[in-house]
Amino acid sequence: MSSDLFVVNEEPPYLQGLNAAQREAVETVDGPLLVLAGAGTGKTRVLTTRMGHILQIGAAFPGQILAVTFTNKAAQEMKERVSALLGGQPVEGWWLGTFHSLAARMLRRHADHVGLSSNFTILDDDDQVRLVKQLMELQNVDQKKNPPKAIVAIISRWKDKGLIPSDVQGNDLNGDLDRLALSLYHPYQERLKSVNACDFGDLLLHMITILKDPKHSEILADYHRRFKYVMVDEYQDTNVAQYLWLRLLAKGSNNICCVGDDDQSIYGWRGAEVENILRFEKDFEGAKIIRLEENYRSTSNILSAANAVISNNSNRLGKELFTSDQDGEKITVRGLWDGAAEARWACEEMEALQSKGWSAGQMAVLVRTSFQMREFEERFIQLGLPYRVIGGPRFYERKEIRDALAYLRVVAQKNDDLALERIINVPKRGLGDATIQTLYAHGRAKQISLYDSIQDLCQTDELRPKVKATLMRVIDDFERWRSMVDNTAHSELAGTILDESGYLDMWKADKAPDAPGRLENLKELVSAMEEFESLAVFLEHIALVLDNQDNSNQPSITLMTLHGAKGLEFDCVFLPGWEEGLFPSQRSMDENGIKGLEEERRLAYVGITRARKKAFISYVGNRRMHGSWVNAIPSRFVEELPAGHVETQTETGMYSAARSVEVPSRSRHWDSSGMRTARSIESRPEIERVSESGFSRGDRVFHQKFGNGTIIHVDGQKLDIAFDKAGKKRVMDSFVTQN
C-alpha cells in the first residue's frame, strides 16, 4: 500500500508548536467557546489558526465565517496570517473586519428598512456637531451653556448602549443636559434620514433594529444560514450595541468563539462593558471556557506580581499566568521625594541600562495620565535622550498647551501676530474669517501688527458694533494682564489669564473624554512655570524645547499612557505615579465606585505585563496635583505587590533611614469594599501625641518645600503643620527638621 495514503493522518504543520490549551482552542470548532487569553499567551495565533483550521478541514468556506476585530490593522493582519497558514493562497469572500465596517456592509443591503438609501453618507464628528447646532438654533437653545459637542457625546453614548430615542428612560438621564439631548435625539435622527446619512453609532443601531424586527425576520434568518461561525477578538472591549449585534447573529449556528481577557478590560470610560465577557456562559448555553495561561513574554517575577495585583479584583473569571522562562530580576519599587526626582531617577536607570547594552527602543515610560509626561520630557531633553510620545503630541505641542502659550506670548510681546491669530477666537467670540482678513489687510496697509490693527479699527466704524465691542474687550484684557507682569508671580498670572479669558471654562464645558486630561495638562503647565524666574525666561525655555527635533531614525524611549500601551510590549517598563488619587484615579473611583477601582487595577495589571524582562514602579512623597502640592501616599496597588517578587528602594531622606519604607496598611486607609475611609481623610481627635521621631504639637519645624511652620497635630509618623506661608499641610515626620 502506498505511503501517500497516510499523509492525511499527519499532523497539520499549523498545529505544531501549539501548547495544549492553544491546541484545544483551535480544535474546538463547534458550539460556543470563550477563550480567556491572558497577556502574552498567543491569542492572535490561536484566533488565526482556528480560522485557518475551520477552512482547512472544510467546515466552512471563507464567506461563511464572520470574524470581527477592533481595528482595520488587526483585520488585515488576521487576513495575511490565515492566507500564509493556507500556503499563501488568496482567500476571497471574507466577512472579516471591524464592527463598523461589517455593520456598514450589511446596512447598505437593507438601508431601505430604516428609511435610508443604499448610498447613504456616514457623517464624521464635525458633521454631527454642525447638525446638532442647526437643531439647537431652531429651538433657540443656548449653545454656550449647552455645548453641541456634549450633546453629540450623550447621543453617541445612548447609541453605544443600543438605545433608540423611545428606549431612553429616566435612569439613562443624568441631569439637564441629558434631558436636552433626549429632546434633540429624535429630531436629530429624522434630520439624518432626510439627508440620507447616518453616524457611526447608527451603523450598528440600525442593523440591531432591523435584525430584531419580526417584520424582517427573513433578514436575520438569511444571516443565520450564511454564517456558520462567528469569531470575535478583544471581546472584553465590546460595548452593549456590539454585544447585541453579535448575539443576534450568533444565535443561528450557536458557533461563536470570543477571544478576550476580562483582566485587560480598561475602556469602560468609552463604553466597553466587562460584563459582556463575564456573562458569556449565561448568554450561550453549553459554552466552553478555555484559559490560555502560559505566557511567552514576561519573566516569572513579573507575572507573579501581575497575578497578585489582579487577584484582588472580585469581578473576574479568574486565571493564573505562568511561564517556563527563568524568574528574571525582581520588580524594582522606588519611593522618591517628588515628580522631578522621579524623572531624574528613571532617566538615570535608563542611562545605566543603555551602558549595559539595552536599547532605548525597548524602554517605555507608561503614565496614568498625560500631565505626568512633562517632567519626563523635560528630563529627556536636558539629557539628550531620544524619545517619542505615542498616542498624542508631546506635552508642549498639545493644542491646549499651545493655546495657553499663545496667550502668554501676546502678553509678553503684543506684536506676536501668529500667537494672537491663534487665540483671537479661542474660546469662540463670534469673530469670523472675514473679520480677521479685514484686520490683516489694515495691518499690511499701515505696516503695523495685528494687535495695533485691532486698536486702530476699534476707533473707527469699519467693523460692526458687536465685533468692535468684542475686540475691544480682548484688547482691554491683554492690557490689564500686561500691567500685572511686574507685580504678579508669572505662574499666578498664567492662571488668571486662563480663567478670565474663558479658556478653562471652555474645556470644563466640553464633555469629550479627553477634556479632563486637557485641564490637568493646563494645571501642569502653570505648575511648571514656578520653576522659572520670570515669564520671559519661561517662554525662552519653551522655544528651545519646541526647537528640539525628534530624530525618528534612532532608537527612542517610548512615552505614553497606560491605556495606549495595551497590546504592546517592551524589554523594560517604567511605571511612575503609583500614588492614591493619581493611580488609582480618585475621579474614576468617585464616579464609578468599586467598578472604577477594579478597572484601575486592571490597568495596573496591563502596565506590569507590558514588561518582558524588567519593570520599575515608583511613587513620590510629594506630588503637584491640580496646581497644589499634596503629601502623597503610595497606591494600594503597591501594597498588593508580593514581597517575594519585588525589591523596594527609598530615596534618602524621604523616610527615616532607620526604618524601611512604610506602605500604608489597607486596614487603616480603606474599608472592606476597597474605598478610602472617611477617617483616613478627616481630622483625628485632638489629643496630645508624640511622633516616633520625637515631634510633638507646638514644635516649630522646617520643610524643604513649604518652609517654616508649627505642628498642630501628630498622628504616628504623620504631622499636621500650619506653615507660615503655605497654610495647613499633612506631611511625614521624616520630611521636616526641628527649628
Q: What is d(CA 16, CA 544) in angstroms, rounded to the nearest whole number?
A: 55
- From the number of C-beta atoms within 10 Å of its C-beta (0-12, 13-18, 19+), residue 333 rates as buried
Report residue 404 as a C-alpha cell: 495657553
Its sign, for the CA torsion 343, 348, 349, 355, is positive
Q: Is 228 a catalytic residue?
A: no
Q: Which of 233, 262, 520, 599 is catalytic?
A: 233
Q: Are 151 and 132 in contact (CB under 8 A)?
A: yes
Burial class (CB in 10 A: 0-12, 13-18, 19+), 435: buried
State yes or no: is 554 an active-site residue: no
- Told to judge if 233 belongs to the known catalytic residues of this protein, a careful annotator would answer yes
Q: Which residue out of 228, 610, 612, 729 is catalytically annotated? A: 610
* Count of CB atoms situated within 10 Å of the CB of 404: 22
Q: Packing angle between helix 399-412 and helix 490-500, nearest 10 degrees?
A: 110
Length of the chain: 739
Angle, to 10 degrees, between the axis of helix 148-160 and the axis of helix 176-194? 80
Tell me how far CA of residue 173 lies from CA of 179, 181, 201, 202, 266, in angstroms: 6, 9, 19, 20, 24
Q: Coil, strand, or helix at residue 648?
A: strand
Whether the Cβ atoms of residue 650 and residue 610 lie closer than 8 Å to each other: no
Which ranges of 484-579 would DSSP assign to H, the alpha helix? 490-500, 503-509, 515-529, 535-547, 562-565
Distance, CA of 722 to CA of 314 (rounded, Å): 41
**What are the residues whose beta carbons fall under 8 Å from the beta carbon of 466, sequence distance 6 or more?**
430
User: What's the rounded Cα separation, in Å, for the pair 711 and 720?
Assistant: 6
44 is known as an active-site residue: yes
User: Grid coordinates representing 381?
Assistant: 531633553
Taking the C-alpha atoms of residue 583 and residue 580, their distance in angstroms, rounded to an integer, is: 6
Nearest CA-CA partner of 110 in 9, 22, 217: 217
- 208: amino acid identity, one letter: I
Residue 496 to residues 441, 532, 535: CA-CA distances in angstroms? 32, 18, 14
Q: What are phi and psi of 546, to 5 degrees?
A: -70, -25
Q: Is 423 exposed, middle or buried (0-12, 13-18, 19+ CB in 10 A)?
A: buried
Beta strands 331-336; 646-650: pairing state: parallel
Pairing assessment for the beta strands 646-650 and 628-631 based on DSSP bridges:
unpaired
Concatenated DSSP letters for 340-386? HHHHHHHHHHHHHHHHTT--GGGEEEEESSGGGHHHHHHHHHHHT--
Residue 29 to residue 44: CA distance in whole angstroms: 17
Instruction: Answer whether 732's CB lies under 8 Å from 718's CB.
Output: yes
Catalytic residue among 24, 28, 44, 676: 44
Catalytic one of 234, 338, 375, 524: 234
Reply yes or no on whether 234 is catalytic.
Answer: yes
Q: Is the peptide bond before 584 cis (omega within 30 degrees of 0)?
A: yes
Of 23, 41, 43, 403, catalytic: 43
Residues catalogued as catalytic? 43-44, 233-234, 264, 610
